[in-house]
Amino acid sequence: MGKTIIVSNRLPLQINITENNELEVTPSVGGLATGLKSFHQEGDSIWIGWTGIAEEDIPDALEKEVIQEVKNQDCIPVSLTSDEIEKFYYGFSNRTIWPLFHYFMEFTEFDPDHWEAYKAVNKKYAEAVIERLDDDDVVWVHDYQLLLLPEYIRRKKPNVTIGFFNHIPFPSSEVFRTLPWREEVLRGMLGADLIGFHTYDYERHFLRSVNRILRYDINFNSVNIGNRIVRSDSFPMGIDYKKFHKAAKEHKDQPRSENSDIQKKLDYHKYVTRNTKLILSIDRLDYTKGIANRIRAFGYFLEKYPEYQEKVRLIMLAVPSRTNVPQYQLLKKEIDELVGRINGKFATINWTPIWYFYRAMPFENLIDLYASSDVALITPTRDGMNLVAKEYIATRTDQTGVLILSEMAGAAHELNEALIINPNNFEQIVDTMKMALEMPEEEQIRRNKILQKRLKRYNVERWASDFMKSLRETKDSRKAFKSIQLNDNIKKDLFDKYSAAQHRILFLDYDGTLRKFVDKPDEAHPDADLLDLIGRLGEQKNTRVVIISGRDKETLGNWWKNLPIELISEHGVWNRPVDKEWQLTENLNNSWMSTVRPVLETFVDRTPGTFIEEKNFSLAWHYRKANPELGEVRANELSAVLKDMISNHGLSVLQGNKVLEIKNSGVNKGKAANKLLVEKYDFIFAIGDDWTDEYLFTELPDHTVSVKVGRNKTEAKYFIDDVDEVRALLSEFASLTR
Ligand SMILES: O=P(O)(O)OC[C@H]1O[C@H](O[C@H]2O[C@H](CO)[C@@H](O)[C@H](O)[C@H]2O)[C@H](O)[C@@H](O)[C@@H]1O
Ligand SMILES: O=c1ccn([C@@H]2O[C@H](COP(=O)(O)OP(=O)(O)O)[C@@H](O)[C@H]2O)c(=O)[nH]1
């Protein structure tokens, strides 16, 4: 393995130009940057992203200095113009994806201009990555600003290993499907080999969207996209536990003498109003964080439990964020007013109920805040993870302190010993605040002990290494396929054998092999190119071409008129040699159909989008157009019902691609194909895409060149990715003279 390339919208550092035209470098705020920074500092990685400043705002004279500062932290800048920042960052990222993925549909804008910018900037990031990418590198793409990046990288570098981690929630498919560009976004993400989420719920929502919108099959947590398997999994992000714990210990051992306003406030609290308890609130100023409701709840708490007036204080840090987006501006105004109103209503000479800071704080001050607060009140209406909750627990070196946490934060899935609340339930919030303030110390310690143990073990390092390990395994599982990809070398050898052969026979499955699937099976007739291709093959000397399909003989006969090829229909029931009539390959009866048909009909009634196809000797129940999950559930149910019914009738149920077919047991494609091998062939070729073709692969002689279309489990010797590749291969065959 080579190096790891981390890619995120924002680098862990923020560049600013001061009024005196000097460069100022500060750490970026936000969980992604703070969390991932530790992983980056420890390992062999480079980090590609934006410095947080517009290209035009960097004076020429400072450009070199900026690059050097970024380089010092093993980072590579992607520069964005102010127009790109407006449309890509404030626009599509934070006025479309962010609100939509956090269920704020009323704030979600669908602006085609912003979408265009989003695509263009994702391409820009792709170029920056590709420029530095060696074949054995691993690319780890982060978050919702870069949803298209995995696919853009994959297009240029098909074999590279790409991981993607989504730091925010992935919404229910009912919400996600409102996005006009939903297919493109999903395909963008599926460019990765492994897609990570903080929680299982987000992962499930994603997989359901993939299944419903793109109609890809999902097998547990794997998506089969035809030429690749993409896996998804949940990896709850941890924090750099040691860093926070150690800093808090140091803070305790040597109280700092610095004179910042926050320090003054904390000193005042400590030495003057010692009996007042502190409730802490820290977030980026974002409408998803539930800050306004939190302030309201605090006001209501003071009303409902007046004995706490002058005995408790809310210390609130709101970090400026995405200030160009109108909702953030409005929220700022609302919070200012709310704080003013509550302080105005309850304040006394000795007591201000809320201390409010609107700025980012240096790390040391954060530690002071965490370490000095009796309760942390974290009430987002939606939050991908929320690292603040974890950081608060990590800094409680004496294990006291109470965490109140919204069940809507990803962190709530892990931090069960916190007091978990519904952020929309005011009564519950205020009663929980009381409970927290009155919780005996032993109980606080009991809870925090468990929480700290988990956070210490599953820290950010572990999170990153688990993701990387899983990414490697996903990649390796491709190698575990028994069949081999029909690559150029093997193809060359195959063409030589084809040319040299005296007698060739080719068994070609139809749907999913020669022709892509369509919703209505009777519309999947061969196109002119295909007719021409198969015709040319059939005309080759010493070449017997057999289309072997589950289709009924009437359809196949109509589609393949006047060509020098043979047909086998209904999975081997009928055979039509060149220029001859159809003949039965076995003696079969179809009297059972009148008993089975009514059962299938009840399934059609109960499962919208499904239908029955009736053939001479078989019945097929198609569910390609049904809701994919319901289709699978009903297919399993139907299989079970049929199993009991048919066992004594010499029938079997074949599970094809979105179809269940009931047919006579003695018939299958392998048996029918073998019957044609009376003459000796020195080149036997069989190709097919689904389970019914496995009979061909297992029952034909050993020297058969068997090829599976798609990367599924198979007994075929080789696999090939899709219909286009099949046609290209057959075209080569057709062009080989002899
Ligand atoms: O870059 P900004 O627009 O200033 O926003 C800051 C970051 O906010 C989001 O953080 C998320 O990631 C955290 C860590 O996984 C998670 O705890 C939190 O719930 C998320 O909201 C955003 O996802 C990042 O891309 C931003 O950089
Ligand atoms: O003044 C501040 C306030 C917060 N943070 C950090 O910002 C991150 C916030 O991450 P979280 O996951 O809670 O939410 P996000 O802002 O990413 O949505 C945490 O690591 C905090 O330590 C910071 O660096 N400076």
Can you tell me whether residue 514 is helix, strand or coil? coil
Measuring from atom 10 of ligand 1, which residue has the nearest CA?
31
CA distances to 506, 553, 561, 584, 723 from 558, in Å: 21, 8, 6, 18, 22
- The superfamily CATH assigns to domain 484-585+668-735 is HAD superfamily/HAD-like (3.40.50.1000)
593-664 placed in CATH 3.30.70.1020: yes
Amino acid at 635: A
State whether the beta carbon of 321 lies less than 6 angstroms from ligand 2. Answer: no
Predicted confidence at residue 1, as pLDDT, reads 72
Rounded Cα distance between 244 and 545, Å, is 71
* CATH class of this structure's domain 241-457: alpha beta
**Residue 387 beta carbon below 6 angstroms from any ligand 1 atom:** yes
- Block means of pLDDT (10 residues each) for the chain, 738 residues, are 93 93 91 86 89 95 92 94 98 98 98 98 98 94 98 95 98 98 98 97 97 91 86 95 95 69 81 86 98 98 98 97 96 98 96 96 93 97 98 98 98 96 98 98 98 96 94 77 84 95 97 91 92 96 96 95 95 94 90 93 92 93 92 94 83 89 91 94 96 94 95 90 96 86
pLDDT at 518: 86
Domain 4-234: which CATH number of 3.40.50.720, 3.40.50.2300, 3.40.50.10490, 3.40.50.2000: 3.40.50.2000
Q: Report DSSP letters for 529-580, one per residue.
A: HHHHHHHHHHHSTTEEEEEE-SS-HHHHHHHTTTSS-EEEETTTTEEE-TTS
Tell me, in angstroms, the distance from the centre of ligand 2 to residue 314's CA: 18
- Contact, 482 vs 720, CB < 8 A? no
Q: For residue 477, what are its two tokens?
A: 């599982």
**Residue whose CB lies within 8 A of the most ligand 2 atoms, among 26, 322, 357, 366, for a mutation test:** 366
3-state secondary structure 28-93: CCCHHHHHHHHHHHHCCEEEEEECCCEHHHCCHHHHHHHHHHHHHCCEEECCECHHHHHHHHHHHH
Q: Give residue limits of the domains in the chain.
A: 4-234, 241-457, 484-585+668-735, 593-664
Q: Do domains 4-234 and 484-585+668-735 have the same CATH topology?
A: yes
What distance in Å separates the CA atoms of residue 206 and residue 200, rounded to the nearest whole number?
10
What value of ipTM does the predicted structure carry?
0.97
CA-based nearest residue to 238, from 120, 489, 96, 415: 415
Residue with tokens 């792709």: 126
Cα 301 from chain centroid? 40
What does the pLDDT read at residue 479? 62
pLDDT at 264: 82
The length of the chain is: 738
Give the per-residue pLDDT at 481. Answer: 65
Which ligand is closest in space to the CA of residue 236?
A: 1
Taking Cα atoms as reference points, which of 460, 265, 366, 375 lies closest to residue 29? Answer: 366
For the Cβ of 94 lying below 6 angstroms from any atom of ligand 2, the answer is no
The model's pTM:
0.85
CA dihedral 318, 12, 390, 420 (to 10 degrees): 50
**Kind of pairing between the strands at 705-709 and 718-720:** parallel
pLDDT of residue 646: 84
Catalytic (active site) residue 509: yes
Model confidence pLDDT, tens digit, residues 259-274: 678 888 888 887 777 7
Ligand 1 within 6 A of CB of 166: no
- Ligand 2 touching residue 30 (CB < 6 A): yes
Exposure string for 311-321, b = 16+ CB within 10 A, e = fewer: ebbbbbbbbeb
